[in-house]
Structure 1
Amino acid sequence: MSELAYTPRRSVLYMPSSNARALEKAKTLPVDALILDLEDAVAPADKPAARDAACAAVASGEYGERELTIRVNAIGTQWHDDDMAAVAQAGPAGVVVPKVSSADEVRRLVAALEAAGAPEGTRLWAMVETPTAVLDVREIARASDRLAALVIGSNDLVKELRADHVPGRAPLLTALSWSLLAAREAGVAILDGVYNDVRDAEGFRAECEQGRDLGFDGKTLVHPGQVEVCNEVFAPSAEAVEDAKGVLAAWEDGAGSGVVTYGGKMVEQLHVDVAQRVLATHEVISARG
């Protein structure tokens, strides 16, 4: 698969679809994408009403440029089939499915969406949150052209590994890196997991910076107060933009010379590719305001 054109997914906020106030507030948040949740954040008795509310939100047209997705309940639960049928008809940008564990499940999910009449623009987002999923993530990422993103479910993954949430996330680094390799090979987006302590601003920023440095496209969030820091960290800095412009200018000035330097460093085609990606990302983000 070829690499997808850049879509801003720096900040991707989970919102409980059973909470009308939360859905209304989401219309005003500077978030790139929303995951309207039917799963963990919704009590069993509230799930049918939450499903209706999420589908109505998608149909409302009131969320501007924010990418709207809906997280359905997991395969095998009593709500999953009804969720998939209703969400397919609503036609969000993405259908987020928890605990996807195999390429075959991806293909079955895509078949279910298509059978229920999902529009072409409705893509699948597969959550990677079990050891089985991590070990099979390369096949999951390549299973269908309708798969647009992998989403790390870090809380479940920590639980399944019998690990701990620690600064630096050493217990998760193998799973994070392996999932990133799979996403980049397949040309799909990949989103980092959530940071649970909404009061720990310093720890949150550090984990955003780690995710950015590893190569994630953005981060899933559990609180609106995390959005602005996430947007800042996952966007090219002013310094990075100016550096990218300098690299491209030096490359153009040195065309045909065989050796080009900028800032005392050698510039090769790979550096040009990186600079072009930085500027393209900056332009898309700037256009969104």
Structure 2
Amino acid sequence: MIFKSIENLPDHFGGKQKTPCTHHRKRSNMMLNPLALKHLNRIDTLSADMITLNLEDAIAPSRKKEALHNIALFLSHMEHSNSFIIVRTNPLDKGGREEISFLNRFEFDAVRIAKIRNQTEIAQALCLLSEDKELHISLETKEAFENLSALRIDERLTTANLGILDLLTSLGLPQSLVHIGNPTIDYILSRFLIDSKTAGIHPISFMFQDYNDTETFRAWCAYEKGMGFESKACMGPKQVEIANEIFGVSSEELKRAEHIKNLFEANAAKEKNGFMDEKYGFIDEPIYRDALLVLSQAGKL
């Protein structure tokens, strides 16, 4: 915990400097309401790979300054977190500019901007954001969905989060479409995944809002992993646990990747880049590159 008690919090910002996040795991991205002080006090110990402190749609306009102050207070008294910390701001023209300017002085890992539409807004955000922080976006508008593959005008834009409910509204489609196997949702997910990967952006799939329905959440995670996703937005620890399990690399997958890597490199040293293996069949360079991808996802490279 950041503070031993939240009953008597300090009335001033601290001077602590959070160390940069060193792991590269992105299985789970948990949304957290900064008005919930009990949860905010635990962001240094949560098991989510990523934590997003939300200033946007879940916060009433009358309480946005309070939420922003809470984020700054807790960040300024935190030295370390096991998670990659993100602050989700409001759209640039609805307070986001001021929020980014204020937050630049505090130590965390990325800013995520809501309702991004085009390259111009990306450029404006990059000008505002301190250079030591990543830029993430919420993909919630039809304009951004149409142009996602062209939005990465700077390498600091690393991640896109699919806000499927807002996107459906922007497209004039009903939210009732969101269920496994719906062809429209499959198209949105597939295009979001491929356009993100084409642009060099990491895609995070949408948040499943029925927190207590862990069975359906698990099914969505398995379905999306089968499509190629590596990350899922989460609402609370129950979903984080499931996402970490499903999007993690299994011991069998890791064992196979390590075997292929070692065997290919040994054979390549003898100028033999294609060969049969008794355990895993024919191995060549594409198989080797896939093994490296698995090892990278597991943090083993």
Tell me, yes or no, whether TM beats 0.5. Answer: yes
1-structure distance, mates of 2:128, 2:262: 49
> The residue matched to 2:138 in structure 1 has which SS?
strand
Give the stretch that moved more between structures: 163-172 or 126-135: 163-172
Match of 2:238 in 1: 225
> The residue matched to 1:57 in structure 2 has which SS?
helix
Q: Deviations over 1:211-268 (max 9, x none)?
A: 2232223111122211111011111111111111222243245443453123353212
| Correspondence 1:135-174 to 2 at 5 A | 135-140=146-151, 142-161=152-171, 162-163=173-174, 164-174=177-187
Match of 1:18 in 2: 35
Match of 1:279 in 2: 295
Structure 2 regions of 5+ residues with no counterpart? Answer: 1-21
1-structure distance, mates of 2:300, 2:284: 25
| Correspondence 1:134-283 to 2 at 5 A | 134-140=145-151, 142-161=152-171, 162-163=173-174, 164-255=177-268, 256-257=271-272, 259-262=274-277, 263=279, 265-283=281-299
RMSD of aligned residue pairs (Cα, Å)? 2.2
Shift of residue 6 of structure 1? 7.5
TM-score, with normalisation over the residues of structure 2?
A: 0.84
Task: Give 1:87's aligned amino acid.
Answer: L
Question: Cα 1:165–1:83, aligned 2, differ >3 Å: closer, same or farther?
Answer: same
Match of 1:50 in 2: 67
Does the CA contact (< 8 Å) of 1:18 and 1:47 recur in 2?
no
Alignment counterpart, residue 108 of structure 1, candidates 93, 105, 124: 124
| Correspondence 1:3-42 to 2 at 5 A | 7-42=24-59
1-structure distance, mates of 2:281, 2:111: 44
Alignment counterpart, residue 122 of structure 1, candidates 119, 133, 147: 133
2-structure distance, mates of 1:234, 1:168: 20
2-structure distance, mates of 1:146, 1:264: 38
> The residue matched to 1:26 in structure 2 has which SS?
coil
2-structure distance, mates of 1:267, 1:90: 48
Shift of residue 171 of structure 1? 2.0
1-structure distance, mates of 2:249, 2:86: 25
Question: Cα 1:197–1:274, aligned 2, differ >3 Å: closer, same or farther?
Answer: same
Give the stretch that moved more between structures: 154-163 or 92-101: 154-163
Shift of residue 76 of structure 1? 2.2
Across the two proteins, how many residue pairs are aligned to each other? 274
Match of 1:86 in 2: 102
The answer to which structure has the higher helix fraction is 1
2-structure distance, mates of 1:269, 1:259: 7
> The residue matched to 2:296 in structure 1 has which SS?
helix
Shift of residue 155 of structure 1? 1.8
Does the CA contact (< 8 Å) of 2:208 and 2:234 recur in 1?
yes
2-structure distance, mates of 1:213, 1:62: 37
2-structure distance, mates of 1:138, 1:6: 26
Shift of residue 188 of structure 1? 2.4
Q: Tell me which stretches of 4 or more aligned residues in structure 1 moved more than 6 Å.
A: none
Does the CA contact (< 8 Å) of 1:158 and 1:172 recur in 2?
no
Does the CA contact (< 8 Å) of 1:134 and 1:179 recur in 2?
yes
2-structure distance, mates of 1:31, 1:139: 30
Task: Give 1:154's aligned amino acid.
Answer: I
> The residue matched to 1:108 in structure 2 has which SS?
helix
Does the CA contact (< 8 Å) of 1:158 and 1:165 recur in 2?
no
Task: Give 1:70's aligned amino acid.
Answer: V
Asked which structure has the greater CA Rg, the reply is 2
2-structure distance, mates of 1:232, 1:224: 12
